[in-house]
Amino acid sequence: MAAAPNAGYAYDYSERFPAVARLVLALDGALWVMVYPEVLSPIGSTQLLSPLGTVANPLGALWRVLDDTGAVLGELRTPPGFFALENGHDYLLGVTLDSLDVETVVLYDIIKDEMDDGL
């Protein structure tokens, strides 16, 4: 374990982290699995579970989409700072925060790769 100094205190952080950060069941029955982000600095669980929390990974969240048998339909990465609220077969609805922590509702179309016959 590594100790990270903070305001004169030292904290111990685990070397192991969960594989999954969030699970979201989409309206079409697909299971969206948010891969736990690479830990670039110590984070709290509220940073992953709350729209008001900061996103630890500057690359955004990586999601694996599974069908009802557990087969992987595909993967996609959401933009940094985006918090998914509703997932559909061809769209993703969520919120982002600006520099003043003002929420904005965002709707993304999911454009499927022609080579990908799943997602």
> Position 88: which residue type?
G
CA-based Rg of the chain, rounded to a whole angstrom?
A: 16
Q: What is the mean pLDDT of residues 93-108?
A: 87
Global pTM reads 0.69
What are the pLDDT digits (tens) for 16-58?
Answer: 777 888 899 999 899 999 888 766 555 555 555 554 444 446 7
What sign for the dihedral angle of Cα 62, 67, 70, 74?
Answer: negative
Smallest Cα–Cα separation from 41: which of 72, 77, 11, 78? Answer: 11
Q: Which pLDDT value is given to residue 5?
A: 47
- Please provide the DSSP assignment of 17-86 as one string: --SEEEEEE-TTSPEEEEEPPP-SS---THHHH-TTSPPS-TT--EEEEE-TTS-EEEEEEPPTTEEEEE
Q: Tell which wins on pLDDT, 112 or 85.
A: 85
Q: Give the lowest-confidence range in 38-42, 57-61, 96-100.
A: 38-42
| SS3 label, residue 93 | strand
Q: What is the mean pLDDT of residues 61-90?
A: 90
User: Phi first, then psi: what are they for 48, rounded to 5°?
Assistant: -100, -25
Q: Which pLDDT value is given to residue 43?
A: 56
